[in-house]
Amino acid sequence: MIREAEWIWRDGEVIPWRDANVHLLSLAVQFGSSVFEGVRCYGTPHGPAIFRWHEHLRRLYDSCRIYRMEPEWTPDELTAATADLIARNELEACYIRPMVLRGYGDAGMMPGVSPIETFIACWPWGTYLGEGALENGVDVCVSTWQRPEPNTFPALAKAAGHYNNAQLIKMEAAANGYVEAIALAPNGLVSEGSGQNVFLVRDGVIRTTGVDGTILSGITRASIITIARDLGIEVEQGTIPREMLYTADEVFFTGTAAEVTPIRSIDRITVGAGTAGPVTLALQKQFLDIVYGRVPDRHGWLTFVEDARSGSATRRMSAADAERVGPHSHSEPSAMEPRADPGR
């Protein structure tokens, strides 16, 4: 069950959690016309810090572009709104869910007058794949459900409708007693988990599925590729035949929710020694040390909530980040103040 926070941001207003509703006949509800992000904010010695916020924001705008949606808000505005919301909810660490959706208006496929609405929610969230998953690994299967063919559902977009497929994968795995599943692409090669990318290790070389039109280009995936290279480990991206999963020394998932989760068996075939492997653990340690601020943030992956708030004088968004996420705010910071203060 979700652990509710107090406030949600909706198009420039901060509203009580329970008032964040959309109409039954909004296109988001009828057709899944909604794009979103899943981001983690970690507690660090310097206060809450959002992991790779600007990359998540960039992917959100990419998803909007693919689905021909024009958000009303600029990246700077959403950054300040998110930081303000985390502070206002008094969260030291949380999951953040920005959503851009098509609201109520038209009833058919053409979204004409249906407004584009933007919400940001955040709430406390622990380990996604269960207690002990990060340390001991998880048991998974290969799904009987496949990922969609390229040029059907655009896999690089993180869109709500796509997660009907992810739910089929996840629910089937759970029904059969597994924590998660790895889905194959329509060509029978390994694609990804229901909400994670897949990596394997064999003879000290890391391999992950290439960006093939069936996977989401994970931000944790990109981070792990960078960390591996920092550690001097070779990383290959490309095709993975299913049987390579069974013969790997180590297999692990990456994702915002799953972080770096070892996989100890696949289809009841033990992976390697059946425990979290040394390469996986080295990558996981480095990843967790970075996100929790225990080692220097050498790649500039942390956005500190305090720095990103609307009143803050010190923004840590680098020029390169700014360039990547596109045009910036022209509005005054006060645009981020809640229009109505429901009782606080």
Ligand X SMILES: Cc1ncc(COP(=O)(O)O)c(C=O)c1O
- Catalogue the active-site residues: 158
Residue 338, Cβ neighbours under 10 Å: how many? Answer: 17
In terms of Cα–Cα distance, which of 125, 137, 166, 131 is closest to 261? 137
Residue 184, Cβ neighbours under 10 Å: how many? Answer: 21
Judged by CB under 6 A, the residue of 220, 261, 280, 303 near ligand X is 220
Encode 240-262 in three state secondary structure: CEHHHHHHCCEEEEEECCCEEEE
Selected range binding ligand X among 19-27, 127-135, 213-221, 309-317, rule: CB under 6 A: 213-221
Q: How far, in Å, CA of 29 to CA of 34, rounded?
A: 9
Selected range binding ligand X among 112-120, 125-133, 212-220, 327-335, rule: CB under 6 A: 212-220
Judged by CB under 6 A, the residue of 75, 98, 103, 255 near ligand X is 255
Please give the structure tokens belonging to residue 16.
């009580």
Count, residues near ligand X per rule CB under 6 A: 14
**219 makes contact with ligand X (CB under 6 A):** yes
Spell out, one character per residue from 31 to 60, where the chain touches ligand X: x when CB under 6 A holds, - when not.
-------x----------------------
Q: How far, in Å, CA of 99 to CA of 34, rounded?
A: 7
Q: Which of residues 141-180 bind ligand X (CB under 6 A)?
A: 166
Burial of residue 203, with CB atoms counted within 10 A of its CB: 0-12 exposed, 13-18 middle, 19 or more buried: exposed
**197 makes contact with ligand X (CB under 6 A):** yes
Cβ–Cβ under 8 Å, residues 303 and 318: no
Question: Strands, E, within 32-155: which ranges?
Answer: 34-36, 39-44, 47-51, 94-102, 116-123, 138-146
In terms of Cα–Cα distance, which of 54, 123, 119, 77 is closest to 310? 77
**284 makes contact with ligand X (CB under 6 A):** no
Judged by CB under 6 A, the residue of 216, 225, 276, 290 near ligand X is 216
- Element holding 228 (H helix, E strand): helix 219-230
Judged by CB under 6 A, the residue of 34, 196, 284, 303 near ligand X is 196
Judged by CB under 6 A, the residue of 98, 111, 195, 262 near ligand X is 195
Kindly tell me which of 38 and 154 has the beta carbon lying closer to ligand X. Answer: 38
Least distance between ligand X and beta carbon 145 (Å): 13
Judged by CB under 6 A, the residue of 218, 262, 277, 293 near ligand X is 218
Least distance between ligand X and beta carbon 192 (Å): 5
Selected range binding ligand X among 202-210, 252-260, 284-292, 304-312, rule: CB under 6 A: 252-260
Q: Rule CB under 6 A: which residues touch ligand X? A: 38, 166, 192, 195-197, 216, 218-221, 254-256
